[in-house]
């Protein structure tokens, strides 16, 4: 049984659409993963800023103690 030109064309179009849908799914998953990475980096940055502030406070406290 031979496949007609229309059948081949339809199969190519359906295959192309399936590939596009799959690619979009992968892109959405990657976007979510990158979003979670951004959130993690933001948490780390906030923790670093907080720690830096604590270090500066301690330095000022030590400097005051040394001046006396």
How confident is the model at residue 1, as a pLDDT? Answer: 66
Global model pTM greater than 0.75: no
Q: Which residue has the tokens 């990475």?
A: 37
Distances (CA, A) of 45 to 20, 34, 36: 37, 16, 14
How many whole angstroms separate alpha carbon 43 and alpha carbon 13? 45
One digit per residue, the tens of pLDDT, for the chain of length 68 reads: 678 999 999 999 999 999 999 999 999 999 999 999 999 999 999 999 999 999 999 999 999 998 87
**pLDDT computed for residue 19 by the predictor:** 98
User: What pLDDT is attached to residue 27?
Assistant: 98
pLDDT given at position 12: 97
């Amino acid at each position: 049984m031979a496949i007609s030109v229309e059948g081949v064309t339809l199969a190519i179009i359906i295959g192309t659409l399936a590939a596009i849908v799959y690619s979009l799914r992968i892109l959405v998953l990657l976007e979510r993963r990158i979003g979670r990475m951004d959130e993690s980096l933001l948490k780390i940055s906030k923790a670093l800023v907080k720690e830096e502030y604590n270090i500066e406070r301690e330095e000022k406290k030590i400097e005051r103690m040394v001046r006396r």
